């Protein structure tokens, strides 16, 4: 069941003073290809989904934020002026966004809020970016005259992750949540910030997510270690090639040159990233030519790299990828940061019903639980609902 405004409004009325406020929404995202490339200044190719966060917000005339998480049935109050912030991690996302908007000079005031989401948590669909983007967008509207640019709103969410949560993420998730457009994927150059909308109208194919329900959390996870590996290798290559600042600027020859100067592990991580930056561009070309077979092959190559070189997969995700291959699915791979979550699958229409049936049966037989199937519909980015 999709979340509606009324689900949020009824709780807002119940938990506060009976009046209503303004309602905002911001989505989660999928990513067709380009994983762990954003913090290497490479390309990504995400799109917003219809699932997301909805928040009702009303200024309360104080310096306090009273926030109610409908999903967790938890209420937290924090002061905008206390730099320590709340301890509940869900409330820290909201606090971080408020503080970062204040840093940008927005005169944020205290407010009451109730919010809920229908992005599955820990699925690799960026529920946290949806939350950050929802509040960044709302604060910009309520107190900022909408003068902060969308890309800066995305950066507010990213800085919140870095400074208040401890995840040194790239910009992809917040970018996608803020900029999403129904029916279009977006190719973003994470170095220049330039992006282009690509209409996503695959003739004869569907995108479907298979959620392993293995929960991941990126904060304090090996995610930050992966980023450090990339930075170490880029620095070593940079000593030989001054033009290389990040792995986006490097190629396989350069990596081979420094093989003896980096650890085997860092070498593997960098090899994956260099290949992945290139694959995003190949997928864009293939899409323009209507060549879905190539798109699918690139997705399998990404899965291999994420599993064997970048090592962010897990047994369940590798299993889902194997089943997709056995069933003749055109493309399949881990989506998002990894360490759990879901696979994204490009499936020919005529194979769709059978694939969904078989993947459920096989996964349940092996792991004792059904994977969750999510049909992808590309939706809009952050917006005011009423």
Which residues, numbered 108-167, are part of the site for ligand GLA (CB under 6 A)? 126
- Give yes or no for residue 36 binding ligand GLA (CB under 6 A): yes
- Give yes or no for residue 35 binding ligand GLA (CB under 6 A): yes
- Give yes or no for residue 47 binding ligand GLA (CB under 6 A): no
Residue 167 Cβ vs ligand GLA, minimum distance, rounded to whole Å: 7
Residue 338 Cβ vs ligand GLA, minimum distance, rounded to whole Å: 7
- Give yes or no for residue 266 binding ligand GLA (CB under 6 A): no
Which residues, numbered 158-187, are part of the site for ligand GLA (CB under 6 A)? 169-170, 172-173
- Give yes or no for residue 336 binding ligand GLA (CB under 6 A): yes
Residue 21 Cβ vs ligand GLA, minimum distance, rounded to whole Å: 29
Q: Candidates 30-38, 107-115, 239-247, 361-369 — which segment interacts with ligand GLA by CB under 6 A?
A: 30-38
Residue 168 Cβ vs ligand GLA, minimum distance, rounded to whole Å: 9
253 is catalytic: no
Nearest to 209 by CA among 286, 120, 284: 120
- Give yes or no for residue 318 binding ligand GLA (CB under 6 A): no
- Give yes or no for residue 337 binding ligand GLA (CB under 6 A): yes
Residue 290 Cβ vs ligand GLA, minimum distance, rounded to whole Å: 26
Reduced 3-state DSSP string for the chain: CCCCHHHHHHHHHHHCCCCCCEEEEEEEEEECCCCCCHHHCCEECEEEEEEEEEEEEEECCCCEEEEEECCCCEEEEEECCCCCCCCCHHHHHHHHHHHHHHHCCCCCCCEEEEEEECCCCCCCCCHHHHHHHHHHHHHHHHHCCCCCCHHHHHHHHHHHHHHHHCCCCCCHHHHHHHHCECCEEEEEECCCCCEEEEECCCCCEEEEEEECCCCCCCCCCHHHHHHHHHHHHHHHHHHHCCCCCCHHHCCHHHHHHCHHHCCHHHHHHHHHHHHHHHHHHHHHHHHHCCCHHHHHHHHHHHHHHHHHHCCCCCHHHHHHHHHHHHCCCCEEEECCCCCCCEEEEEEEHHHHHHHHHHHHHHHHHHHCCCCEEEECCECCCCEECC
**Measured from the CB atom, is 110 or 124 closer to ligand GLA?**
124
**Measured from the CB atom, is 184 or 217 closer to ligand GLA?**
217
**187-197: b (≥16 Cβ within 10 Å) or e:** bbebeeeebee
**Measured from the CB atom, is 32 or 254 closer to ligand GLA?**
32
- Give yes or no for residue 309 binding ligand GLA (CB under 6 A): no
The single residue of 17, 141, 145, 173 carrying the catalytic annotation is 173
**Measured from the CB atom, is 106 or 376 closer to ligand GLA?**
376
**Measured from the CB atom, is 16 or 175 closer to ligand GLA?**
175
**Measured from the CB atom, is 218 or 258 closer to ligand GLA?**
218
Residue 173 Cβ vs ligand GLA, minimum distance, rounded to whole Å: 4
Q: Which residues are catalytic?
A: 173
Residues lying near ligand GLA in the complex (CB under 6 A) are found at 35-36, 38-39, 126, 169-170, 172-173, 218, 336-337
């Amino acid at each position: 069941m999709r979340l509606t405004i009324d689900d949020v409004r009824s709780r807002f009325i119940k938990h506060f003073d009976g009046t209503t406020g303004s309602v905002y929404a911001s989505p989660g995202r999928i990513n067709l290809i380009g994983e762990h490339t954003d913090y290497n200044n490479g390309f990504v190719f995400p799109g917003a989904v219809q699932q997301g966060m909805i928040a009702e917000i009303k200024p309360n005339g104080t310096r306090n934020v009273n926030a109610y998480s409908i999903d967790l049935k938890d209420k937290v109050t924090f002061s905008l002026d206390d730099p320590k912030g709340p301890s509940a991690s869900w409330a820290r996302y909201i606090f971080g966004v408020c503080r970062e908007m204040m840093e940008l000079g927005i005169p944020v005031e205290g407010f009451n809020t109730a919010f809920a989401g229908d992005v599955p948590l820990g699925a690799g669909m960026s529920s946290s970016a949806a939350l950050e983007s929802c509040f960044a967008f709302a604060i910009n509207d309520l107190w900022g005259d909408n003068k902060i640019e969308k890309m800066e709103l995305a950066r507010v969410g990213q800085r919140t992750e870095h400074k208040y949560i401890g995840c040194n993420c790239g910009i992809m998730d917040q970018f996608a949540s803020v900029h999403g457009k129904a029916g279009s994927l977006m190719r973003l150059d994470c170095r220049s910030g330039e992006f282009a909308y690509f209409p996503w109208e695959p003739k004869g194919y569907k995108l479907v997510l298979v959620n392993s329900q293995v929960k991941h959390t990126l904060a304090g996870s090996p995610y930050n270690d992966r980023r450090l590996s990339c930075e170490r290798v880029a620095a070593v290559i940079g000593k030989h090639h001054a033009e290389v600042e990040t792995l986006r600027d490097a190629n396989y020859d350069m990596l081979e040159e420094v093989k003896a100067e980096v650890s085997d592990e860092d070498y593997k991580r960098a090899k994956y990233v260099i290949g992945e930056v290139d694959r995003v561009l190949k997928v864009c070309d293939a899409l323009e030519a209507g060549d879905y077979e190539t798109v699918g092959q690139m997705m399998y190559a990404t899965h291999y790299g994420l599993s064997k070189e970048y090592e962010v997969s897990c047994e369940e995700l590798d299993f889902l990828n194997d089943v997709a291959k056995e069933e003749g699915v055109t493309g399949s791979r881990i989506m998002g940061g990894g360490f759990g979550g879901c696979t994204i699958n490009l499936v020919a229409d005529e194979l769709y019903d059978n694939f969904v049936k078989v993947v459920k049966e096989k996964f349940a037989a092996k792991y004792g639980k059904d994977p969750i199937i999510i049909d992808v519909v590309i939706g809009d980015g952050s917006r005011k609902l009423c």
